[in-house]
A and B are shown apart, each in its own frame.
Chain A
C-alpha cells in the first residue's frame, strides 16, 4: 500500500479513495462517509511530513471501517435502526491504534445488522453488492469492508469475525481476510455480537499489508480483560512453520460442497505440496458439529449482549409508548431486524431454566471436545486447510427466506471460531463464471503469523 511521504501526499491518497468510493457507490459499501474529517487529518499529516516531523507506519493510508466499531468521528449504526444516528463518545482501541499510526478512516462500511448474517442483506440500509457480480451478495457480515478492498477503494478495511464474518466475504470477493486468535485485538469499543468468539481483524490485498495492520492493532488492552499479551511481533519471514505439514479436513470435502470449490481447494493443496509441504487428509468428526454448537452458544451471547438496547438511555425509542413494557416491546420490535430477533429468541430459549443444561451446557461441553480435537491435530500439523464457504457467492435474495441455508454458509468457518483459533482466508481461484473462491488456513492459537508465512510461501511457489 502507498504510505504518505515527501513525494506522496496524504491528501491525494485520501482524495483518490473518496473518489473511488463515489465511483463505486452502486455497490453500497458504505453506510456513511467521513470526508471532511478524513481530508482534515490528511492535511495534518502532510503538514507534519513537510515540517520533518515523525509520522506513523500508516501515515495517510485511507481505510474503511466496519460500522460496528465506535469512533468519535461520525456515527456508528451497526447497520441497525436501533443505533440509527448514534454519536459515540469513545473510540475503539483498534481504531485509536490505527489512527495513532496515521491511518485515515474514509467511511463506515455496511454489514448485516449487529453482524448477524452471511450476506450483508440483513442491513437496515440495504445490501452491499458483490465486487465481481452485482447480482450476487457480498457475503457477510463484513460485506462492505470486503467489497471496498476488492474494488481497490482502500488498501485495507476492518472487519469483525464471530463465525466467519471476515473470511466468508473475503472469499466471495477475492481478498485476504484475517480472523486472528481470540484475544489478539481489543474488542473495546466494538458493538458486541457473541463475546466469546468475537475477534477484530482486517481485509487487505496483500499478505504484507494484512500483517502490518494486524501488527499495529494487536496487543493487550487494559480495557478488554480477554486480550492476550502482544505476540504479533515477528518479521513475517521469521514466522516459519516447524513441521511443514498441512492437514486437509476430510469431513469438509463431502456432500454439500460445490464441485468448483472442491476443485479450487484441491488445486491449492497441490500447490502447497509444490511449496514443500506434506499434505495429508485427516478426520475430525467433531468438526461437523461445530455449526450446531455455534448456533446455540452464539445466539445465547447475542441475546444477552443485545439486552442493553432497551430504548431507555440512547439509540432508537419507539414513538408511541404508554408504559414500560411498551418502551421495551415497541422499541425492540422496531429497532431490530428479523434476523436479530430470531437470534434473540433462540438465545433466550437455550438459556431459559429447564433448557439450559440440555442446550447451552451440552454445547459448551461439545465445544471443549472440539478444542481438544484441534489441539490433537496441531501436534501433527502446522495448519489445517479447508474451504471457506461451501459455494461461491450466491444470488441476492436467494437465501434470505431460508435461515437454515444461510447458517450453512458458516459450516466451515465456525469451528475455528468456537475454538478461538486463528484462521485466514486467502484467494485461491475462480469459478468458471469468474466468481472468486478462497481457502482457509487454520492454525493453533497465536500461530497467526505462521499462517501468513505459509500462505505467502504457497503464493510464491506459483
Chain B
C-alpha cells in the first residue's frame, strides 16, 4: 500500500460588511429581511442600469489584503463572468478575472505553518434560489453583496491544517473588520480543491464547493482523501470534477465534470472604470490596521494560557483587544481576566461578537478586588458574569459586588461583634473550650459558624486570627 500525500488549495468567499452593496446604494444587510426588499433597479438588472462602485468596499478589500500580508495592486479592473441562472439577474457576475485588487501574500497558522495566498479579487454575490417542487422562488437581497474571493496556493497538506487555515482566515477577516463572519449566514464560504498523489507530481483534483463550516471543511477533506485513495488503489482514476458536500451523510457527490464546465466568456467590464489607488491611500489604511491575531499571540505568550483557551479568546477580536488592554495596565491581572473570558465562552453557545464588553479599567478594578481579597475568587467570577455585558448593567464592579452581597468583611470591629456572639453561643461552648485547651482543630467549626453568620462575607483568614487572639 502506497502512502499518498494530500494537497489542498482553498478558495474562500468573504461577504464584506459594507453598509450598501458593491454596485448599488441599497442595504447590504439582508439578515431577517423580507425577500427582495433590499434590491435596487441595478441589482434587478433593469435595462439601462449601470453599476457604480462602492468605495467602502474597495477600502474593505484593501484591509482584507493587508490582513493577509498581501501586495495591494494599485490598479485593478473588473470583468464580466457570464452564465445563466435565475439568481444572477444580469446574466453575468462582475468579478476581477485578470487584474485583481489583492496580489500575493501569506498567512501564518497557529501550528507554525504558512499558507501562501495566490491572490484575492473583488466580485458581487448572486441571489438565492429556493426550490419548491414544481417551482422555484428567487430572492435577490443578496445579489450584489460585495465579496472577496481569496485563493490560496496548494500549500495545505492535511484535513486539520485545512481547518486551521479556514479558522485563521476567519479570524483575520474579523480582526480587519471586513465581514460579519457569521458562517451560518454564509458570510464565509469555502471551496476546497483536493488531490492526492504518491509521486512528486500532483494528482487530479476534485473541488468540493460551498462548504460553510470549519467542521465540514475538515470532514470533506477526510472523506475525499479516502474516496480518492480507494479509487487509486483500485487502479481507477480520479476525475477532475466539482463535487457537493452532504453534511448529513458525510459524503461528497459529483455535481459536474470538467467537460461539462461552463465557458464563462470573460470580458472586461466596460461600465466600471479601473480602480486606481494612490500608494498613500493604501499606506493610510495600513497605518490604521487593528492588531492581528498573530500580534496578540505573541503579546499573550507571557500569560502562559492554555493553547485552546487562548485560541478561543482570539476567536473574538473584542475579547483579545480587551485582554491586551488589561495586559497594558497590569500584566499580573491578565491571566485571571483571561480565565473569566473563557468562562463566558464556555457558558454561552453563541456570543454576539460585537457585544459591549466591560472596559479594561472595570476589569482591572474587579481583578484587583480579588487580588486584595475583598472578593473571593468564586465571588469575583460571579460579579464578572454580571458585569461583562454592558447591555445588562452600567454599575461599577464595587457597586455590583456590594449589591450582590459578596464583599468580604475585613472590618475587624464588625467581625469581632459576630465572633463574640458565636463564642458565647451555647452550641459553641464545647469547641471554644477545646481551642482554649490547645486543641486547634476545633477552630474550623468556629470559623465556619462565623462565616455562616456573616453570610460568607467574612474573610476566613482574618476570622481565624481573631478567634485565636480571643481564646489565647
Instruction: Identify the A interface with B (CB < 8 A).
Output: 69-70, 76, 78, 83, 86, 88-90, 92, 187-192, 194-196, 222-226, 300-301, 303-304, 306-308, 310, 312-314, 324, 328, 348, 351-353, 356, 360, 364
Contact = CB atoms under 8 A, between A and B. Distances in A.
B84 A191 contact: no
B43 to A, nearest CB: 10
Nearest to A89: B41
Contacts of A196: 270
B44 A328 contact: no
Contacts of A348: 265
Interface string B78-109: 00101010100111100000000000000000
A307 B91 contact: yes
A191 B267 contact: no
B271 A307 contact: no
B272 A92 contact: no
B112 interface: no
Interface string B220-235: 0000000000000000
Given A86-B47, A89-B46, A308 B91 contact: yes
Contacts of B271: 195, 224-226
Contacts of A190: 48
List 3 tightest A-B contacts by C-beta distance, closest first. Answer: A307-B91, A351-B265, A195-B270
Given A190-B48, A314-B46, 9 more contacts: A78-B47, A88-B47, A90-B46, A92-B48, A224-B50, A225-B273, A226-B50, A307-B92, A352-B265
Contacts of A225: 50-53, 271-273
A222 B50 CA distance: 10
B138 interface: yes
Contact of B52 (A83, A88, A222, A313): A222
B45 interface: yes
Given A225-B272, A310-B84, A301 B47 contact: no
A312 B84 CA distance: 11
A70, A88, A189, A304: most-surrounded residue (chain B CB, <10 A) = A304
B90 A308 contact: yes
Contacts of B51: 225
B4 interface: no
Contacts of B138: 312-313
B236 interface: no
B261 to A, nearest CB: 10
Contact of B266 (A192, A224, A301, A356): A356
Contacts of B50: 187-188, 223-226
B263 interface: yes
A306 B91 CA distance: 8
Contacts of A301: 267, 270
Nearest to A186: B50
A306 B271 CA distance: 14
Nearest to B261: A353
B47 A83 contact: yes
Contact of A191 (B47, B91, B266): B47
A70 B49 CA distance: 10
Contacts of B44: 313
A325 B198 CA distance: 43
Contact of A352 (B49, B80, B84, B263): B263
Given A225-B53, A351-B266, A310 B91 contact: yes
Interface residues of B, number: 30
A304 B80 contact: yes
B248 to A, nearest CB: 26
A352 B266 CA distance: 8
A78, A86, A195, A313: most-surrounded residue (chain B CB, <10 A) = A313
Interface in B244-285: 263-268, 270-273
A90 B24 CA distance: 15
A300 B267 contact: yes
A195 B47 CA distance: 12
A262 B412 CA distance: 117
A226 B84 contact: no
A33 to B, nearest CB: 21
Contacts of B84: 307, 310, 328
Interface in B34-93: 41, 44-53, 80, 82, 84, 86, 89-92
Contact of B89 (A306, A308, A351): A308
A191 B48 CA distance: 4
A88 B91 CA distance: 20
B92 A304 contact: yes
B41 A360 contact: no
Contacts of B273: 225-226
B41 A90 contact: yes
Interface in B120-176: 138
Contacts of A191: 47-48
Nearest to B41: A90
Contacts of A223: 50, 52
B138 to A, nearest CB: 7
A70 B47 contact: yes
A310 B86 CA distance: 8
30 contacts: A70-B46, A76-B47, A78-B47, A86-B47, A89-B41, A89-B46, A90-B46, A90-B48, A187-B50, A189-B48, A190-B48, A196-B270, A222-B52, A225-B50, A225-B51, A225-B272, A300-B267, A304-B91, A304-B92, A307-B82, A307-B84, A307-B90, A307-B91, A308-B47, A312-B89, A313-B89, A351-B267, A352-B265, A356-B266, A360-B267
Nearest to A191: B47
Given A304-B82, A307-B92, A310-B84, A188 B48 contact: yes
A351 B92 CA distance: 13
Contacts of B267: 300-301, 304, 351, 360
A351 B97 CA distance: 14
A167 to B, nearest CB: 21
A348 B48 CA distance: 21
Contacts of B49: 188-189
A192 B48 contact: yes
A89 B41 CA distance: 9
Nearest to B269: A195
A69 B45 CA distance: 15
Contacts of B45: 308, 313
A293 B51 CA distance: 26
A61 B89 CA distance: 38
Contacts of A194: 270
Contacts of B41: 89-90
Nearest to B86: A312
A316 B80 CA distance: 24
A347 to B, nearest CB: 8
A93 to B, nearest CB: 10
